Every structure is written in C-alpha cells, then in structure tokens.
Structure 1
C-alpha cells in the first residue's frame, strides 16, 4: 500500500510539473510581453551558464552563504528555544527580542548591518542567519511548551531528575516541531538570499539576477529562480529524510 501511494504521489509531482511548464510555454508563445522567455530560451541560457562556468560560480557562492547562515541559525535557535520553553527566566529575557525582530523584514536591517559589519561575507551570512534563527527558535519553543505534562509527571514519579526528563522526554517529543522549524528556516534562508546579496556581492544567484535585470536578460533571471527553487527543494527533501529517521516512532498519515 505504501509503495502504491508513493508512485501515485510521484505521478502527481510529474503531472503538475508538466502542467506548469505547458502553461508557461503557452503564455510565452501567445502573450504580448516580448520579454517573457520561453522554456527553450531558458534551457539555452542554462547550457551557456554551465559551459562558461558563470552559473556554477554564482550557485556555489549562494549555496555557501545559505548553508552557513542556516546552520548557524539552527545551531543557536534550538538551544535558545529549549531554554525559553524550559526556564521561565529565559523566556522572559529572550522572547520579547525574538518577537520584535520577527516583525522586521531582513531587508530593512541591511543599512544597519552595513554600518556594523561592513559589506563582506560576514554581513551577508548574518542576514541569512537572522532569518533562519527567528524561524526555528519559535518552533522549538512551541515544541517544548506542547510536551504533554503527563509524560513529565510520569517520569518524575519514576524517579527521573530534570536532566533525564529533558533528554528522554522533552527532546524526543519536541523533534517534530524542531524539524518543522528547520524547514521553515531553510525557506527563510533562501528567501533572504537575494536581499543579503544586495550587500555588494561580487557573485551569487541574487547578484546574477540583479545584473540580468539591468540588461533585460529575463532568461537568466528565470535560470536563477529555477536554481534557487531546485536547491531549496532538494535541501528540504534531505531534511524530510532526516526527520523520518529521527522521528520514526511518530504516527503520521
């Protein structure tokens, strides 16, 4: 039964992909916008980028920034979320700042980031880090807060101390929330990439798309969008695989 469901879902993925490409091609062929690139033009631009090397160069630069910012954000968000959920004093000290900065778009922070960190790689990674951190810390905090109190009380009755309860009850029960937060953080990291590469980036997919916009090279813009979407999708699938391995005990539909 599981295998048939997997095949069915794969066919749905394929069908919606073909439908999307078909509608795009139809719009490019019949629309009045001469700048709208058709799929063959985008494919040719993609081949040119691979042949000349500029696409791999931009992709590698962006991937490095996203991975660094995402990993740093998650590495700090998970312990911060646990502290906020487990200790009242930590929640009182951290939550107001988290909620405040969650409402501020990363793009609005760029002028201050330039002032304090300059326009180097540190500034670009920091903007991505902030987006990933704010997305993941709330999910982790909510995971700790939603742990069934019955499990905690049962562990105490059996003689478990705080450290054992935290390691054997709180952490496993919070894992599904943490992975949801990580997936949202990953999306936020890629969404913030273009904004981070406004900081005088010499390379990167965001920089490539900005340059293509100036010269009306719309096919390159589409290539950049496709690369960002494909890389983000692939990384999200990897997180799903890791989640299934670490939360195999969880019942899902």
Structure 2
C-alpha cells in the first residue's frame, strides 16, 4: 500500500497542477509595446505619434511664445514681439520676398548637401573596409576637419568668384566632412562576430559587405546626414552674409543695416522651421530603415 500511495502521489500532484488555473500567465505575457510603466496603454495619434509627446510639444511651443512675449515687454530696445514678427512675415510672403529668399537658400543647401553626402558615403565605406584607403585619406580628412568651413568662404570667393559655385562648394565641404566621418565610424564599429559568422556560412566579401556591413552602418550614416544638414544651413547663411544677392542670410544682412529686427526674426524662424522639417524627414527615414534596431 505504501508503494502504491507513493507511486500515485506524483500523478495526483500533476493532475492538480494541470487542472489548476494559470494564475501566473499574465506575468509571463510580454508587455505590449504601447504600454506604459504601470501597464496602462499609451494613446497614440493616427500618425503613430504618442499623445503625450504631442501635448508636450504644444506645451513647449506655448512656453516659448510666453517667454518671447515677456522679453518683448521687458524693455529691451527694439526687441519685437510675436505679433509684430508675424505681421512682418506675412508682408514678406505677400511681396514674394520671403519665398524667393527661401527658395534661393534651399536650392544652395540641397545642391551642396546632396553632393556632399553622395560622395561621403562611398568614401567612408572605402575607408572603413580597406585599411590602405584609410591610411591614405584619414590624415587629410582630419586636417580639413580642423579647418572650419566658414574660414574657407573668403578663399572660395577669391578663387571661384561671387556666383553660386563658392556657396555650393562650402556647403558641400561642411556636409561631406560630417557625413564621411560618421560613415567611416559605422563601418569600423560593425561587430566582428557578425562578419565572421557570415564568412563561416560561406558568404563572400561582397555579400558580407552588402548584407552585414551596410545595414549595420545605416544608423551611423543617417546620424551623420543629420549633423551635416545642420552644418549645411549654418554654412549657407554665413556664405550669403558675405557675398550674395538673394537668400535668407542676404536678407538678414540687409535688415541689419536698417535695424529691422522683425525682418531678421522672420529669416531666423524660416531657417529654423525649414531645417526642422528636413531633420524630421531624416529622422523618419532613420526609423523606417533601422526598424530592426532596439530603442529605448
């Protein structure tokens, strides 16, 4: 009887455990990606933006306008308020001046930026993949990185004239130097384990490069493109301040001569707004191209 009881006890315990309710099942389920820390779902807008982030952005904008209004009424001589800047901006839009200047600056930025990034990506890949290329180019790259693109503007104007060529060249230089370093860093930061695993599986160098190195370097490339975009806008404004007949920087210089602060504010806001939109587009591309990457 003892042996019979002993042999049937595990079976009874197993039966009870199978019939018992799964009280720990909820703890084993993964938390949905839209859940907050307390397990409450985060409401999202149709575009996928969290409602909390949208409200925080609105609050930040309202706070900025409030601070701006306070500064305008603080007694600073000539400091314009939001309404006066809005009125002046509307006048420039109706006259067509703002759109013409914005188009001229945007054309220069896009031309130099696209050429710079298009050349920086293959050069960065070559430096990271071939040590001999790295040893040949890296000293010159680091040398020119220490020279601000703004310092090249007077030399470019003397050698290339006052047309569009020197402005596009300095924008190209700023975007290229920012993007090539980021691309090179992305290639050398690829996990060697992934490369070795691909080669063990029989992949050739071209397959390893396209299937492992390029995807792993994409986040670095996009970060470099975002940094290069900011450098491109800073450079074009400086170039237009020195020698230009149109553009946002040129209009700011003209407004400075007449102490027209509302016009200067309009140009600054236009530069910031367009640059922000372009940066958000790059950020959206980064999320689409690097969806496999873990994010906090």
TM-score, normalized by length of structure 1?
0.97
Structure showing greater relative contact order (alpha-carbon pairs closer than 8 Å, 6 or more residues apart): 1
Residue 208 of structure 1: CA displacement?
Answer: 0.5
Aligned to 1:173: 216
Pick from 227, 252, 255: which aligns with 1:209? 252
Q: Any idea what SS the aligned residue of 1:197 has?
A: helix
In the alignment, which residue of structure 1 is the partner of 2:25?
none
**Alignment partner of 2:154: what SS?**
helix
User: Structure 2 regions of 5+ residues with no counterpart?
Assistant: 1-33, 35-41
Q: Which residue matches 1:135?
A: 178
- Which deviates the most, 241-250 or 138-147? 241-250
SS, match of residue 176 in structure 1:
helix
Match for residue 164 of structure 1? 207
1:203 CA displacement:
0.5
Q: Does 1:147 align with 2:190?
A: yes
Question: Hey, what's the Cα distance between the residues in 1 that align with 2:249 and 2:191?
Answer: 44
* Shift, 1:30, TM fit: 1.8
Are residue 77 (structure 1) and residue 128 (structure 2) matched? no
> Structure 1 residue 3: deviation in Å?
4.2
Q: Which one has the largest radius of gyration?
A: 2
Partner of 1:30: 74
Separation in 2, partners of 1:35, 1:92:
55
Task: Determine the structure 1 residue equivalent to 2:93.
Answer: 50
Unaligned runs of 5+ in 1: none
1:177-192 to 2 correspondences below 5 Å: 177-192=220-235
Q: CA RMSD in A?
A: 1.2
> Once superposed, which parts of structure 1, at least 4 consecutive aligned residues long, lie more than 3 Å away?
2-5
Offset at residue 76 of structure 1 (A): 0.6
Q: TM-score, normalised by structure 2?
A: 0.83
Residue 112 of structure 1 deviates from its aligned partner by 1.4
